[in-house]
Amino acid sequence: MNRLISSTVISFLSIFSFGQSALIKQLDPLEFNQQIASGQGTLLDVRTPSEFSNGHIKDAGQLNYYAFDFKQRFLMLPKDQPVYLYCNTGYRSQKAAEILTKNGYTQVFNLQYGIMAWNLKDQPVIVEPDAKPDGVDKIEPDEFAAFIDNHSLTLVDYYAPWCAPCRQMISVIDSLGEDYRDQVSVIKVNADASSKLVKEQRISGVPYFVFYRNGEIIFTHSGLISREKLGEVLSSAL
């Protein structure tokens, strides 16, 4: 009996969660731009102040998703107007959008794949005069091309400092880099700092891994991946 009740509760929660997500309208960059051009509603960037300063959509407000009072301030938005949300990859803005729909908001729009997709479509951004670009693990396209052309095997780890899954992968990449240091070269690319390269390679999300042999791609993976799986890929290429 208890097992039946538990199954029913789980099924209900799954349906409820799906229903909330279905209320969120996912827009590609061109659709998003068209919608916000009307000037109606609220356009909100839910990234950190530093990310915002280094490139945001015109007329966007900013509210840090990671701030302790985010939800309290976020729910002060009027419910009778559209809310347009974005972040770097669409993950934080999706989570923020779910907060709104769970609290009775019905006009919620999310920029699918975030400002990384926006940049790929050459949509304009505003860079603040006092912006301080992140220079850690910044790689320009010509440096990148020269590196992979001059190394037989290269594993590229695209990450962002704010990305929790990227942080989870740090120990995996570092340990594999140590295990294969005489056979495989590892490059860490800060996607925020290396915007030209990211756009050229059409990277729309992090973490993202690319394995090259003599300059040719032989493996790609988006998102978390186990050490065992990535190790198998590296071993099979040797």
Residue 163 annotated as catalytic = yes
**Neighbour count for residue 27 (Cβ, 10 Å):** 18
d(CA 187, CA 208): 12
Active-site residue, from 100, 166, 206, 234: 166
- Indicate the SS3 state at residue 26: strand
d(CA 197, CA 238): 27
d(CA 71, CA 80): 18
d(CA 76, CA 74): 5
Active-site residue, from 44, 96, 163, 191: 163
DSSP string, 81-141: S-EEEE-SSSHHHHHHHHHHHHTT---EEEETTHHHHHHHTT---B--TT-----TT---H
Residue 166 annotated as catalytic = yes
* Listed residue (64, 97, 62) closest to 82, CA to CA: 97
* Listed residue (86, 87, 207) closest to 137, CA to CA: 207
d(CA 167, CA 164): 5
d(CA 100, CA 41): 14
Catalytic residue list? 163, 166
